[in-house]
């Protein structure tokens, strides 16, 4: 099994999986081909869409075209020379309760038809299942997974190990650990279909990340039944390398037209907001007046174009290191997606550990939603774990963020430093830090480290972002060893929040002066700070006392 990863962003990765029918580049969307109703022929997928891989159902093939499939093999039967993945009836179990095939037979059948990526006959956990029933599906799936190595005879097929447990996360974790002990080349989250249909994307985040956390990260991960392209960015950001969907065809049957922003009924459309070959050639009136079969096929083609296009967009975002920004944009397509993106905060440490945090481009920070992004989590961790203030520094001066980046080049900061520092020794006694959204405290000597100067923020900041920054300031002061702290707050921007969060810091030998100003760059303020610091330097060798001073300059 070879899975080569070229780029990462969040848990998304651009990679390449080698199969016996060639390589596939991930993340990849696999259209579902129903062997009984081929709305779009596999050959068309390959020729018109450049599609290199599809998924079909081994259970349906075995029921309806068993002899042909065994004789020709699945590639020739479908007339498709790309990579074929097969599912094995789990969806039918979920829908009809049971299937008339035994697990050993479906393993053997997939080998006989020479599929490239095969799936054991797992037992999906229904969303409504009681916990004991859910546990039964997990145990039976693990049991069947354990049988695979005794039954399979070929070594050139990649086998998928489905993870069950539904929304019972302890069961998902247990299932993931058990499945990852077995020799599967791909792991998959089974049975999220009902969750997807009900737009419970926040539960999908929990299920997927619980599975990811409990399986080795270098194994490709599949999401069964991914659905609508508006959630592809989320699926990829959660670390799904492969995902399949039949939605393009199901939607087409119901006159539904997919866009990356949601779905339109064909009857609602006056214009096609798309430039695929179908939408260039026809307008909505043309399609509406067509016979059902033709209309359905053209809608399915448009829907497929939308799906493939979205995957390419997501991949490009990974290359640019802009997956977070893209995910935020997609989050605003539907409240259920925003809810899911908000859920990522719960997993921010795991995502940060697996994400690239140094990028070619700067970050865009729009709102507090972005506080969970890996780069911000990473900086917070690094500052706490790896940074210590210069030993000779006795006084901490905390200034609100200037407009200019890097901060040390700001005119007011330079002027202030010049006023205080008529000798090196004095300069070294003072540590100057800026507190800035979205990162928190930035020591001036670090301000050129990526991405502390390489980002753009949308102002005015929202309350949650201000509170986050204030909390970072508080933690920084609390864990430092400075005797004297001067905290300057620009009240126009910070509205007293930083002062109020830091007021109750309990620490031995800390004298803290809160200086609230309305105009941080005024001559009077700069001179006042310089004079106060001068005085502080004079007596910084005296025994420290606990004190709080409140000064407001207007």
Can residue 75 be called a binding residue for Zn ion (CB under 5 A)? Answer: no
Binding window for Zn ion (CB under 5 A); candidates: 32-40, 277-285, 323-331, 505-513: 277-285
Q: Which residue lies nearer to Zn ion by CB, 237 or 311?
A: 311
Shortest spacing between CB 40 and Zn ion, in angstroms: 14
- Closest C-alpha among 369, 12, 357, 337 to residue 205: 337
| Active centre residues (catalytic) | 87
Q: Which residue lies nearer to Zn ion by CB, 276 or 553?
A: 276
Can residue 276 be called a binding residue for Zn ion (CB under 5 A)? Answer: yes
Integer Cα distance of 207 and 328 in angstroms:
20
Among 213, 266, 274, 333, binds Zn ion (CB under 5 A): 274
Shortest spacing between CB 323 and Zn ion, in angstroms: 24
Shortest spacing between CB 155 and Zn ion, in angstroms: 42
Shortest spacing between CB 272 and Zn ion, in angstroms: 6
Q: Which residue lies nearer to Zn ion by CB, 297 or 302?
A: 302
Integer Cα distance of 88 and 107 in angstroms:
9
Q: Which residue lies nearer to Zn ion by CB, 14 or 279?
A: 279
| Residues facing 489 on adjacent strands | 516
Q: At what angle do helices 103-112 and 131-151 cross, to 10 degrees?
A: 50
Residue 93: CB partners within 8 Å, gap ≥ 6?
99, 123, 124
Please list, residue by residue across 435-449, b when 16 or more beta carbons sit within 10 angstroms of its beta carbon and e when fewer do: bbbbbbbbbbebbee
Q: Which of residues 290-319 bind Zn ion (CB under 5 A)?
A: 302
Q: Which residue lies nearer to Zn ion by CB, 273 or 335?
A: 273
Shortest spacing between CB 49 and Zn ion, in angstroms: 12
The residue count for binding Zn ion (CB under 5 A) is: 4
Task: Report how far apart, in Å, the C-alpha atoms of 145 and of each of 41, 110, 179, 251, 554 are.
Answer: 32, 15, 7, 33, 72
The pair of three-digit structure tokens given for residue 282, joined into one six-digit string: 């026809």
Convert residues 374-413 into a mask of x (bound to Zn ion by CB under 5 A) and - (unbound).
----------------------------------------
| Residue 495 φ/ψ, nearest 5 degrees | 55, 30
- CB atoms near residue 143 (< 10 Å): 12
Shortest spacing between CB 254 and Zn ion, in angstroms: 17
Integer Cα distance of 34 and 57 in angstroms:
7
DSSP state of 41: -
Task: Report how far apart, in Å, the C-alpha atoms of 51 and of each of 14, 433, 465 are.
Answer: 17, 53, 43
Binding window for Zn ion (CB under 5 A); candidates: 89-97, 269-277, 360-368, 438-446: 269-277
Shortest spacing between CB 278 and Zn ion, in angstroms: 5
Residue 266: CB partners within 8 Å, gap ≥ 6?
255, 256, 257, 284, 287, 288, 295, 299
Binding window for Zn ion (CB under 5 A); candidates: 97-105, 218-226, 230-238, 272-280: 272-280
Binding window for Zn ion (CB under 5 A); candidates: 274-282, 311-319, 362-370, 378-386: 274-282
Q: Which residue lies nearer to Zn ion by CB, 163 or 252?
A: 252
Shortest spacing between CB 32 and Zn ion, in angstroms: 20
SS3 of residue 433 by DSSP? strand
DSSP state of 523: H
Among 171, 279, 432, 434, binds Zn ion (CB under 5 A): 279
Shortest spacing between CB 223 and Zn ion, in angstroms: 24
Can residue 457 be called a binding residue for Zn ion (CB under 5 A)? Answer: no
Integer Cα distance of 534 and 69 in angstroms:
87
Q: At what angle do helices 335-343 and 201-213 cross, to 10 degrees?
A: 30
Q: In what order do the strands lie in the sheet with 395-400?
A: 440-443, 430-436, 395-400, 484-490, 511-517, 547-553
Q: Which residue lies nearer to Zn ion by CB, 276 or 329?
A: 276
Q: Which residue lies nearer to Zn ion by CB, 258 or 341?
A: 258
Integer Cα distance of 56 and 26 in angstroms:
18
| Residue 67 φ/ψ, nearest 5 degrees | -65, -45
3-state SS, 385-415, equals: HHCCCCCCCCEEEEEECCCCCCHHHCHHHHH
Q: Which residue lies nearer to Zn ion by CB, 298 or 446?
A: 298
Which residues of this protein are in contact with Zn ion, per CB under 5 A?
274, 276, 279, 302
């Amino acid at each position: 099994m070879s899975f080569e990863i070229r780029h990462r962003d969040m848990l998304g990765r651009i990679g390449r999986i080698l199969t016996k029918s060639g390589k596939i580049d991930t993340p990849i969307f696999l259209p579902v081909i129903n062997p009984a109703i081929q709305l779009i022929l596999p050959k068309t997928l390959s020729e018109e869409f450049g599609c290199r891989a599809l998924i079909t159902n081994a259970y349906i093939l075995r029921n309806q075209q068993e002899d042909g499939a065994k004789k020709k093999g699945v590639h020739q039967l479908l007339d498709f020379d790309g990579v074929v993945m097969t599912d094995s009836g789990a969806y039918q179990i979920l829908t009809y309760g049971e299937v008339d095939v035994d697990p050993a037979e479906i393993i053997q059948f997939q080998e006989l038809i020479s599929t490239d990526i095969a799936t054991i006959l797992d037992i999906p956990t229904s969303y409504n299942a009681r916990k004991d029933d859910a546990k039964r599906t997990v145990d039976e799936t693990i049991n069947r997974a354990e049988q695979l190595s005794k039954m399979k005879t070929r070594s050139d097929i990649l086998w998928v190990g489905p993870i069950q447990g539904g929304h019972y996360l302890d069961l998902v974790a247990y299932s993931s650990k058990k499945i990852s002990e077995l020799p599967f080349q791909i792991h998959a989250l089974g049975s999220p279909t009902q969750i997807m249909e009900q737009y419970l994307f926040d539960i999908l985040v929990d299920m997927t990340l619980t599975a990811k956390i409990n399986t080795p990260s270098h194994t490709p991960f599949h999401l069964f039944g991914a659905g609508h392209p508006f959630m592809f960015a989320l699926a990829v950001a959660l670390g799904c390398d492969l995902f399949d969907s039949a939605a393009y065809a199901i939607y087409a049957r119901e006159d539904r037209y997919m866009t990356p922003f949601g779905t339109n009924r064909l009857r609602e459309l006056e214009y096609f907001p798309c430039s695929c070959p179908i939408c260039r050639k026809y307008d909505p009136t043309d399609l509406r007046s067509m016979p059902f079969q033709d209309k359905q096929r053209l809608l399915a083609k448009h829907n497929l174009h939308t799906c493939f296009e979205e995957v390419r967009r997501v991949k490009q975002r990974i290359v640019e290191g802009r997956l977070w920004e893209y995910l935020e944009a997609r989050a605003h397509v539907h409240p259920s997606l925003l809810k899911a993106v908000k859920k990522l905060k719960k997993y921010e440490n795991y995502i940060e550990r697996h994400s690239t945090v140094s990028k070619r481009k700067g970050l865009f920070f729009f709102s507090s939603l972005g506080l969970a992004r890996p780069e911000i989590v990473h900086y917070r961790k690094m500052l706490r774990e790896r940074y210590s203030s210069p030993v000779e520094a006795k006084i901490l001066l905390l200034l609100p963020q200037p407009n200019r980046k890097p901060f040390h080049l700001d005119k007011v900061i330079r002027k202030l430093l010049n006023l205080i520092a008529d000798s090196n020794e004095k300069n070294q006694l003072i540590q100057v830090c800026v507190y800035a959204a979205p990162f928190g405290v930035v020591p001036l000597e670090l301000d050129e480290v990526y991405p502390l100067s390489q980002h753009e923020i949308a102002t005015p900041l929202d309350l949650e972002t201000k509170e986050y920054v204030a909390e970072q300031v508080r933690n920084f002061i609390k864990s430092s060893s400075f005797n004297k702290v001067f905290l300057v707050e620009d009240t126009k921007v910070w509205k007293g929040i930083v002062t109020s969060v830091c007021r109750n810091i309990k620490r031995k030998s800390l004298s803290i002066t809160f200086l609230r100003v309305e105009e941080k760059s005024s001559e009077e303020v700069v001179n006042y700070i310089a004079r106060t610091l001068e005085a502080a330097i004079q007596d910084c060798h005296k025994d420290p006392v606990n004190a709080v001073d409140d000064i407001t300059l207007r």
